[in-house]
Amino acid sequence: MGSNRGIANTHTTEAPYKRQQGKPQLAIFGIGLFSITSFVIRASATRDEDDHEEGRVKQHIRALAKKTHIGCNHSFIADAVEKAMGAVVNISVETETSTLLKKKSLVSSGSGFFIDENGSILTNAHVVTDMAPGSILTVTTTDGAHHEGFIHSLDTLSDLAVVRIKPRSKAEGGWPVLKMSTNINLRSGDWVVAIGSPFGLHNTVTAGVVSSGRRRNEELGTGSSTADVRVEYIQTDCVVHEGSSGGPLLNLDGEVVGINTTRADSEGISFAIRADNAMDLVHQLHTQGRVVRPWLGCRMVSLTSQVRQQIHEQGPLTMFIPPTNTTGGVIVTSVFPGSPCDKAGIIPGDVIVAVNGSSVRSTREVFTRMGLKIHEPVTFTVKRGIALDMDYDGRSHRWETQELDIRVTPDEFDVQIHKD
């Protein structure tokens, strides 16, 4: 009895022990399985995050490439040229030197591009101004075909001209037309492309970058009393020679941003008339055959701090002393007798600060605000300095400033009368 009880006691004590010993082993196995599962889940999640991040980066790169037009595309210039090439032409002016031998001498050559489907071509005026009676104007299209052309209209002040050739037949369709950019916001360093025919080499392409999207006549040294102050230029480092004059300057969308017109004496600098400046002038040339410009009959200069200092140092020309509290604007330096400004009461020393209610800070802004209309009144807001006392030498120590609204009615500008 005693021994059986011992055996029984031993049995009853071992079984609970074995059961208790199995629980820790199961727990350890469960923890390990959980850890492995967690690792797999975290690894999978990490891969998902990496894939998502990689996709996001690729999407950003594609968007950036699309925005810059270049990206990894090495043919971005060729793409722009391909859109425009068919509308670019070569223009040559020849004169017969021998009627008997039918010899011809090249007078001038340049480039141009179609601005309508009926055969109107925009070019530089200097390309065709040397035409004499009996001269022959030939337009060569990109397919090598020669067409007889004639001058429809030209404007020497802006150096723009419209040349025409015969329209195509209905079966052939209209001539290819280049698209003019309506939003020219060029930055320094932007890529541009010039197409022309230097040295008679048709379809010549050069590319470069923009140095300045706006250069004025006076900056180029081409300013004169008859220069059109509305015209501004794009400065680039595209190679432009005489045969390229009148050809298009393109952005990377193949749109016209300028009309190539001249180059500096040093290589690496060329200029193109801004297309947005030219459009109003081109429209008048195209529809009216000439450009009508308003004439005020006064000389004026932008009132910069340097100009103000020069005027004060000139004394005793008291009429040239601008109001001391006037900043910006345009100062009138002289008025022609009997001119629109003279009739309206504008006098030397007046500072024009607004035109039709819009402020102005340069002579270009004055003419831009006026537009190209003539015989329609324009309101100039003028500040005038009135001397309250004077010394024996004509200098004044006290001034009063008057602000006046003066209505001026511009006449038509006649370039023949107002030549330099």
Domain boundaries, given as residue ranges, for the chain: 1-68, 74-291, 294-412
Instruction: Yes or no: say if 397 and 324 are a contact pair by the CB < 8 Å rule.
Output: no
Element (H, E) at 55: helix 2-68
Provide the sign of the torsion angle of the four alpha carbons 309, 310, 311, 317, taken in this order: positive
Q: Is the pLDDT of residue 171 over 60?
A: yes
Q: Is the pLDDT of residue 309 over 80?
A: no
Would you please indicate which residues are annotated as catalytic (active-site) residues?
A: 126, 159, 245
The mean pLDDT value for 393-409 works out to 71
Prior bond of 316 cis (ω within 30°): yes
Which distant-in-sequence residues (6+ apart) come within 8 Å of 100 by Cβ? none
- HSE on the CB side for 134, CA within 13 Å? 9
SS3 411: strand
Tell me: the pLDDT tens digits for 322-364?
Answer: 555 556 789 998 999 999 999 999 998 889 999 999 999 888 8
Mean confidence (pLDDT) of the chain: 77
Tell me: the pLDDT tens digits for 47-79?
Answer: 555 555 666 655 655 555 555 555 456 788 999
Which residues, in sequence order, are bridge partners of residue 91? 110, 139
Element (H, E) at 314: helix 305-314
Cα–Cα nearest to 374, from 291, 301, 312, 309? 291
Q: Is the pLDDT of residue 19 over 60?
A: no
- Specify the pLDDT at position 99: 59
- HSE on the CB side for 268, CA within 13 Å? 2
Share of the chain above pLDDT 70, in %: 68
SS3 35: helix
Amino acid sitting at position 100: L
Tracing tokens 């009393």 back to the chain, one arrives at 225
Instruction: With 0.95 as the threshold, say if the pTM is over it.
Output: no
Task: Return the number of other C-beta atoms located less than 10 Å from residue 315's C-beta.
Answer: 13
Q: Is the pLDDT of residue 17 over 60?
A: no
Q: Is the pLDDT of residue 199 over 60?
A: yes
Q: How far apart are CA 260 and CA 10, in angstroms?
A: 111
Cα–Cα nearest to 138, from 125, 152, 148? 148
Tell me: the pLDDT tens digits for 265-274?
Answer: 667 789 999 9
What CATH number was assigned to the domain covering residues 74-291?
Answer: 2.40.10.120
User: Where does the pLDDT of residue 293 fall: very low under 50, low under 70, confident under 90, or very high at 90 and above?
Assistant: confident
- DSSP 8-class letter at 367: H
- Specify the pLDDT at position 252: 93
Amino acid sitting at position 110: G
User: Where does the pLDDT of residue 7 fall: very low under 50, low under 70, confident under 90, or very high at 90 and above?
Assistant: very low
Amino acid sitting at position 192: V
Cα–Cα nearest to 254, from 80, 95, 108, 136? 80
Most confident range, picked from 21-35, 90-104, 264-278, 336-350: 336-350
Q: Which CATH class is domain 294-412?
A: mainly beta
